[in-house]
Amino acid sequence: MSGAAAVLKNVSFRYKNGDAGALTGLDLTISEGECVLLCGSSGCGKTTVTRLLNGLIPHYYEGELAGDVTVFGRSVADTAIEDLAGTVGSVFQNPRSQFFCVDTTAEIAFGCENMGLPEEEIRERISGTVADMKIEKLLDRSIFNLSGGEKQKIACAGVSAMQPPLIVLDEPTSNLDLDAIDELRRIIRHWREQGKTIVIAEHRLGWLNGICDRVLFMENGCVSRDLTGAEFFAEPTVSLNTAGLRSVAEKRNYLESDTGVTAIKPFENAASIELRNFTYSYGRHTALDIPELEIPAGSVCAVVGHNGAGKSTFVKCLCGLQKGFKGSVTSGGKACSPRDMRRISYMVMQDVNHQLFAESVLEEVMLGMGNEDTDTALEMLRKLGIAEYKDRHAMSLSGGQKQRTAIASALLAGKKLLIFDEPTSGLDFHSMELTAQLLSSLGSECTVLIVTHDMELIERCCTHIIHIENGSVSI
């Protein structure tokens, strides 16, 4: 158990088209059987380290690499990615883009098939993995009918079946609710008991308490602090936050609150948006059944619920985007049809790329304005701190700037109800705090709904919780 699983010697890397180096002279030895957490603010190089270990750098993502990376004695630079597959298993952030097959069993088998293992052995490995991870009921299912958490479990099972000695995970919990994270923790603990070496790059830290042997805090492409798990998780929240890290202390779990609307901060309830008859079903399955609900106008509400509870159906209905939905909304004493709802509401999607169309930021935000008034638009851009990018193409901005562009275009179009889908997934502490400030400042002029699993964000900016389970708000 004392051998080195991975050795990085004086490694520097700069992405092609990148201005600064992603890694600068990194020295790191990971021992066999260790469970290592890589943390640090966005752009510190932690994802780059995982990509060096599984060979995606230098074989897939191009750039200038200096120094040596060896994994179990094999030089990564001289080994093709696909030949490292049996040695290094990878779990990625986005469940949408890491599946190759459409049914779960084939997906778990996929890696083993590529390694050319005999059919009998693959079947044995699948049944072994499935029993270990207790996911028997996920076999022979269609990928498209799984929740995010279930998909991530299948991804882990696919890696597990290949039996690699080293497993790297790159922000595996970005799209998961707290229960799904608990299950992932169980899987990682199990891998650890099997003696596997595990490397996790993560923003959300609390769930890793008690699992990690070693925590590497990265800054500007270097490891700035190398702590044991116990030392790291004893650090006070304040010092973590100043370093750009999320807190490790367990947050209040808003999923434990009652279903329905609950105020969590003092709030003067002037008027409200009344929803009536919010029912929707796919075929025979009832996805949503809310006869009546009142959202306080001007509030910032978190929409919480487990993966698959009906949160996204709910907000789609609210935006008037769900075809065949018949419910009604009364806002300020005026009844709105789904069509009117489309006029007053706007959803900032999780992948903001879907909603940026125009050639420049200024053109983008003026697209939906009633009367095209450049001064008003520029004023709004200044308010949101993106005025200096007004002539850039929106697609060339960073994630946070894109989000602000989308918000600006919604506000200028006179939208009164803003809905955010997971606005802070994959954000470090500073970006999350900025987003939280922005969201609460929006509260005065419009009503804000945030679909999120991020308890820190809720604590910081939300006035109310709307808890949905099984498509319903009453127990």
Partner 1 sequence: MAQLFTADVENRGLVLDPRTKLAVMITLVVFALGSAGSDITAVRIATVVLSFMPIVLLMTAKQFGKSAVYGALYILVKLSDMLLVPQLTGLAHSVLGICSLIFVRVMPGLIMGAYMLSSTTVSEFISAMHRMHIPQQITIPMSVMFRFFPTVLEEFAAINMAMKMRDIRLGGRNAGKLLEYRLIPLMVCSVNIGSELSAAALTRGLGTKVRRTNICRIGFRLQDIIVLMMILSVYVLLILGRAGVVR
Q: Are 321 and 306 in contact (CB under 8 A)?
A: no
Least distance between partner 1 and beta carbon 437 (Å):
25
Nearer to partner 1, 259 or 345 (CB): 345
Least distance between partner 1 and beta carbon 402 (Å):
11
Nearer to partner 1, 95 or 471 (CB): 95
Cis previous bond, 58, omega within 30: yes
Residue 297 zone, left/alpha/beta (φ > 0; ψ -120 to 50; rest): beta
**What's the residue count for the chain?**
475
> 248 is written with which tokens?
């490790």
Least distance between partner 1 and beta carbon 119 (Å):
5
Nearest to 93 by CA among 32, 143, 51, 121: 51
Nearer to partner 1, 117 or 178 (CB): 117
- Residue 294: in which H helix or E strand, if any? strand 285-296
Gap between the Cα atoms of 302 and 457, Å rounded: 9
Gap between the Cα atoms of 34 and 185, Å rounded: 15
CB atoms within 10 A of CB 339: 8
Least distance between partner 1 and beta carbon 372 (Å):
9
Sheet holding 4-15, edge to edge: 23-31, 4-15, 63-71, 74-75
Sheet holding 417-421, edge to edge: 260-263, 464-467, 300-304, 447-451, 417-421, 345-348
Nearer to partner 1, 92 or 254 (CB): 92
Gap between the Cα atoms of 452 and 125, Å rounded: 36
Least distance between partner 1 and beta carbon 104 (Å):
8
Q: Where are the strands (E) in 121-232, listed by range?
A: 166-170, 197-201, 214-219, 222-228
- What are 227's strand-pairing partners? 215
Nearest to 133 by CA among 84, 194, 175, 200: 194
Nearer to partner 1, 218 or 319 (CB): 319
How far is the CA of 434 from the CAs of 165, 264, 387, in angstroms? 40, 21, 17
Nearer to partner 1, 89 or 221 (CB): 89
Least distance between partner 1 and beta carbon 230 (Å):
32
Gap between the Cα atoms of 473 and 327, Å rounded: 16
Nearer to partner 1, 79 or 220 (CB): 79
Gap between the Cα atoms of 194 and 203, Å rounded: 25
Least distance between partner 1 and beta carbon 244 (Å):
25
Q: Which amino acid is at 429?
A: F
Gap between the Cα atoms of 197 and 449, Å rounded: 41
Least distance between partner 1 and beta carbon 261 (Å):
24
CA angle 55, 43, 56 (to 5 degrees): 10
Least distance between partner 1 and beta carbon 68 (Å):
20
Nearer to partner 1, 118 or 324 (CB): 118
Least distance between partner 1 and beta carbon 383 (Å):
20
Which residues make up the interface to partner 1 (CB under 8 A)? 54-56, 59-60, 80-86, 88-90, 92, 94, 96-103, 105-106, 109-119, 122-123, 126, 140-142, 144-145, 158-159, 162, 316, 319, 321, 342-343, 345-347, 349, 351, 353-358, 367-368, 395, 409, 413
At 53 the three-state DSSP class reads: helix
Nearer to partner 1, 2 or 285 (CB): 285
Gap between the Cα atoms of 336 and 350, Å rounded: 26
Nearer to partner 1, 200 or 347 (CB): 347
Nearer to partner 1, 111 or 244 (CB): 111
Q: Are 75 and 68 in contact (CB under 8 A)?
A: yes
Least distance between partner 1 and beta carbon 173 (Å):
17
